[in-house]
Amino acid sequence: MLGAMTAMRRPVAAALRGAGARLAAAIVLGWAAPIAQPLAAGAAGHGTIRMVAASAARSGGCGLAPSPGRATLSIRLAGRARTVLVDVPSDYTGTTPVPLVINLQANRSTASREAALSGMDTEADQAGFIVAYPQAVVASGAGFSWSDPGAAQAGPASPNDLAFLTAVPGALEARYCVDSTRVYVTGFGAGADMAAQVACDDSNIFAALGAVSGLHWPASCPAIRPLAVIAFQGSADRTGVAGRGAASGSDSVAQAARAWAAQDGCGGRPLSVVPASGARLTAYVGCRAKVEVELYTVLGQGHEWPGGPPLPRSVTERFGAQSSALDANQLMWAFFESHRLP
């Protein structure tokens, strides 16, 4: 069933459209040796068709020697060395521009744990995009948490993580052959909170936003254009999202989706679709610039990544059950593929 989700999403979106609505800072780069063997070639495709649009924007990294696999990027910003894990698809050539997805960890986590939780490397390798995992720097629990000037926990000496996240795409574009019109941001928990804020602040950089277990509507959203949004939320998720005090429960996320739809000028009542047993899709269509706002609710799921790799019992007992009703990575990528910067 999971393998059919990407192919399924396109007919759903087409049906919705047929219903009358259309769904900076100076940086010093230092590259560490690869920290993992290159990803093995993925299995046969699952319905994703790789296409390079004629209007693909070539970044400064096009033409450099190809370097598939995982590497660690160090960015020095405001006197701090910041870490980004980068996974490059196995068939990356270094000459054809590819999309880039920035995937943000939850609080009290790490970049490598976000990669393991989401399992997005597999989708990236099969679909042919680069996925990068920036790491927070404020020590918290067994990992690190995000900080930004608008967050409740930010102090005068706290790092400006929004500035860091704004710098990440440019740093990667200088190293890799990236299509700068197809740069996307997503995150989990508090990472979804940060993704929403950076998408608002830099809507000229990010073509679309994805949020897992914590779609947030920022108190300030200076976006200069409508933003396409896709979100996933477990109905049994009761975990709070740190930062601006937003909760990641279903009611709060539904309110955030409505706020994003209002921002995007989506018309009329949302459409409700049952894309799979154990899930429902609320879709806001008829939006400006042909964007959409889509919220997938996974029934009975806790604070987890839908369709992600299996988690140990100790995790699911604390954060709630996993669900295989949807594959968030396949659905998110199909959504991202249909949006690019003008």
- Provide the b/e sequence for 66-97 (b: ≥16 CB within 10 Å): ebbbbbbbebebeeeebbbbbbbbbebebeeb
Tell me the CATH class for 2-23+26-36+57-337. Answer: alpha beta
Q: How far apart are CA 54 and CA 317, in angstroms?
A: 48
Burial class (CB in 10 A: 0-12, 13-18, 19+), 24: exposed
Q: What are phi and psi of 162, to 5 degrees?
A: -65, -40
- Written as one string, the DSSP assignment of 4-73 is GHHHHHHHHHHHHHHTTS------EEEEPPPSSPPPPPP-S-SS------TTPPBPTTTTSPP--EEEEE
Provide the pLDDT for residue 77: 87
Distance CA 132, CA 97 (A): 16
pLDDT for position 151: 54
- Domain spans of the chain? 2-23+26-36+57-337
pLDDT at 228: 98
- Count Cβ atoms within 10 A of the Cβ of residue 257 and give its class: 0-12 exposed, 13-18 middle, 19 or more buried: buried
Tokens at 63, concatenated: 């033409």
Per-residue confidence (pLDDT) for residue 49, from 0 to 100: 37
Residue matched to tokens 């950089």: 205
Q: CB of 172 within 8 A of CB of 73? A: yes
Distance CA 226, CA 221 (A): 11
| Confidence at residue 158, expressed as pLDDT on a 0 to 100 scale | 76
| Report field, pTM of the whole predicted structure over 0.85 | no
pLDDT in tens, the chain (342 residues): 444 444 445 434 444 433 333 232 222 333 332 222 222 223 333 333 344 444 688 899 999 998 899 999 999 988 899 999 999 999 999 999 999 999 999 999 999 999 999 999 999 999 999 999 999 999 999 999 998 655 545 455 678 999 999 999 999 999 999 999 999 999 999 999 999 999 999 999 999 999 999 999 998 999 999 999 999 999 988 775 433 334 445 568 999 999 999 999 998 899 999 999 999 999 999 999 999 999 999 999 999 999 998 888 888 888 888 898 999 999 999 999 999 999
Taking residue 44's Cβ as centre, other Cβ atoms within 10 Å add up to 5
The whole-number pLDDT of residue 148 equals 64
Phi, psi of 190 (to 5 degrees): -65, -25
Tokens of 304: 């987890």
